[in-house]
Amino acid sequence: MAIQIAGLVVLACIVSGLMADNYALRKGYKELQRQNSISLDRYNLVVGMLNEEQQHELHQYYIATGVIEEEE
C-alpha cells in the first residue's frame, strides 16, 4: 500500500511538472505572438506610406539580403 501511494505521489509530481512546463511554453508563445503582431503592424504602417516604386525597391532589398525568398 505504501509503495502504491509513493508511486502515485511521484506520478503526481511528474504530471504537475509537465503541466507547469506546458503553461510556461504557452505563456512565452503568446508573448512572442503579441510582439510579432506589433512588429507586423509597424511594418505595414511604414510600407503603407511608401509609393509603389519605393515598395518595389524595398521588396528587392529584402530579396537581396535574404530576408524573404523571391516569389515564383
Instruction: Assign 47 a pLDDT band (cuts: 50, 70, 90).
Output: confident
Note if the pTM is more than 0.85: no
Question: Residue 54: is it exposed, middle or buried by C-beta count within 10 angstroms (0-12/13-18/19+)?
Answer: exposed
Is the pLDDT at 12 greater than 90? The verdict is no
Q: Which residue has the cell 501511494?
A: 5
Q: 68, 62 in Cβ contact below 8 A?
A: yes
**What average pLDDT is seen over the chain?**
86
Is the pLDDT at 64 greater than 90? The verdict is yes
Question: Residue 16: is it exposed, middle or buried by C-beta count within 10 angstroms (0-12/13-18/19+)?
Answer: exposed
